[in-house]
Amino acid sequence: MTRTGTGAGALVLPLALAQFVASYAATTMNVAISTIAADIGTTVIGVQTTITLFTLTMAALMIPGSKLTDIWGRKVCFVGGLAVYGAGAVLASQATGIGVMVLGYSVLEGVGSALMIPPIYILITVSFEDLATRARHFGVVSGAGGLGAAAGPLIGGLVTSALSWRASFLLQALLVLVIILLARRVVDPPRSAPAPGFDLLGAVLSAGGLFLVVYGILRTGTYGWFVARTAFTVGGVVIIPAGGPSPVWLFILAGVVVLALLVLHLRARERAGRDPLFSVTLFRDRTTSLGLTTQHLQWLVLQGSFFVVSVFLQQVRGFDAIGTGLMLLPATVGILLSSAAAERLARRHAQRWLVRGGFLATIAGMALLLALVREDSGVFSFVPGLFLVGAGIGVMLTASVNLVQSNSPVRLQGDISGVSRSVSNLGSSVGTALAGSVLVGAAHPGGAPFALALGVLGVVAVVGLVAALLLPGTTRAG
């Protein structure tokens, strides 16, 4: 089924706006942490915890949420997720204490995101048969997501400064209402097979495993990766003293064990002829496995580099949230321009070559940042590096999504969409945690710590390039 003209616009516009809102929510809270803490009578750590819980909720429920699209329908899940998200935004805007904030932002917005994001990518894949046309529309969605993530601090800073942090949540709710109205014209292609059953145990294992892994990664900012910066206590009892091994590996290891149990459960369920939460056959395909790897590393580099540059601009150069958002504008422009060119690039080049080129551009951009940016360098020293990083990641985001989604048959679109989004969310969490673990212990995050953090992310980008070079020339499904 291929849509053209008005029909395509009616489908893609609400999907792109929904991706913008979800990405915006993940970054805009950071600029108002102190203000929110003072207003609702909590601490900065309390507000940071709500942000962490939002990430955890979204990451843990993305795969079960994706499976529900096969059961309830893509449009139903999309609109339902928007409604839950909007209710959470309204509730958060009225918060007078940390409990209401957690319920509105962390829980309801997290659950809403897990329901509405997977249908975005499934609907585009099943609605457009031509790879280049899919690339154009994936480019619009990816560009909207990149814009939301990059512009979140800027828009959030402007709204918070001019009005209040509560207005930022109400702005999200208003935009969600507009998207729901636009979504009335979205047509969900008819189901080609009976609705599958819901794998409850698989959903519990998936959510639990991802929760533990992401939680462990996010706690590296407190405890560090290898040596505990502070004592790990449970109920006032010191389990691991400061200077001992970092407790984050307890959570990560527990998560890996739960995910291993999930794989065993999924295989047993498939052998018994019952519907699994997702099919493990996805990972037997080389293109899918490597494509998911590149997606994970792209988001790791994107969020990690934005975090490093933001910390440098605020703590070393003295920029406020609005100034930081403006300084990141070259990366945003790069993402938008490369996303806009997605269809043209897809018609001229194979997706794997675009992923490779994107990593090369990103590595070059990071090298320019390292070469040109100094504590006393002019503002224009950031422009070429940030633009190349944004352009490279913009190319990769679209090409990798198109590659992975198009490589899976229609019957597995729900499965691959949920796994793909979970892998991307995990990359975002790792990127921020990895960069933060390098900078958090530095009294002054300029000079060597800044270079080391960017250098580590550059090495990750090189690993991504190697994975992209291993991508085969043919795909399983068109």
Nearest in space to 296 (alpha carbons), one of 410, 467, 450, 150: 467
Which burial class, exposed, middle or buried, applies to 184 when counting CB atoms under 10 A from its CB (0-12, 13-18, 19+)? exposed
Of 135, 162, 186, the residue at which a domain comes to its end is 186
163 plus 227 within the same structural domain? no
Using only C-alpha atoms, the chain has a radius of gyration, in whole angstroms, of: 21
The residue type of 82 is L
CB 216 within 8 A of CB 250: yes
Asked, for residue 346, whether it belongs to a domain, the answer is: yes
For residue 30, the model assigns a pLDDT of: 67
CB 32 within 8 A of CB 200: no
Asked, for residue 310, whether it belongs to a domain, the answer is: yes
Regions in the chain scoring below 50 on pLDDT: 5, 476-478
120 plus 218 within the same structural domain? no
The residue type of 77 is C
Asked, for residue 303, whether it belongs to a domain, the answer is: yes
For residue 445, the model assigns a pLDDT of: 58
270 plus 289 within the same structural domain? no
146 plus 235 within the same structural domain? no
- 190 phi and psi angles, rounded to 5 deg: -60, 150
Asked, for residue 191, whether it belongs to a domain, the answer is: no
C-alpha 92/C-alpha 221 separation (Å) is 25
Please name every residue paired with 245 in a beta bridge, in sequence order, or none if there are none: 227
260 plus 148 within the same structural domain? no
Please name every residue paired with 232 in a beta bridge, in sequence order, or none if there are none: 240
Structural domain including 240 reads 199-274
- The contacts of residue 162 (CB under 8 Å, 6+ apart) are none
* Total domains in the fold of the chain: 3
CA atoms within 13 A of residue 474's CA, in its CB half-sphere = 1
Question: CATH number, domain at 393?
Answer: 1.20.1250.20
The residue type of 36 is I
Residue in the block written with tokens 């490779």: 356
315 plus 462 within the same structural domain? yes
433 plus 411 within the same structural domain? yes
Residues 398-442 pLDDT 10s: 888 888 888 777 777 777 888 888 888 788 777 877 777 776 655
348 plus 306 within the same structural domain? yes
Phi-psi region of 130 (alpha: psi -120 to 50; beta: other; left: phi over 0): beta
Pair of tokens at residue 215: 């939680």
305 plus 353 within the same structural domain? yes
- The contacts of residue 274 (CB under 8 Å, 6+ apart) are 197, 199
45 plus 132 within the same structural domain? yes
- pTM for this entry: 0.81
250 plus 392 within the same structural domain? no
C-alpha 458/C-alpha 362 separation (Å) is 8
C-alpha 366/C-alpha 241 separation (Å) is 37
Of 186, 207, 223, the residue at which a domain comes to its end is 186
Asked, for residue 194, whether it belongs to a domain, the answer is: no
Residue 472: how many other CB atoms lie within 10 Å: 11
Q: Which contiguous run of DSSP H or E holds residue 28?
A: helix 5-28
238 plus 323 within the same structural domain? no
Asked, for residue 205, whether it belongs to a domain, the answer is: yes
Pair of tokens at residue 133: 């046309």
Asked, for residue 341, whether it belongs to a domain, the answer is: yes
Asked, for residue 280, whether it belongs to a domain, the answer is: no
First CA to last CA across the chain, in angstroms? 13
Please name every residue paired with 234 in a beta bridge, in sequence order, or none if there are none: 237
Return the SS3 of 237. Answer: strand
Q: CA separation (Å) from 403 to 62, 147, 303, 352, 382?
A: 20, 22, 22, 8, 31
Of 242, 274, 306, the residue at which a domain comes to its end is 274
For residue 78, the model assigns a pLDDT of: 94
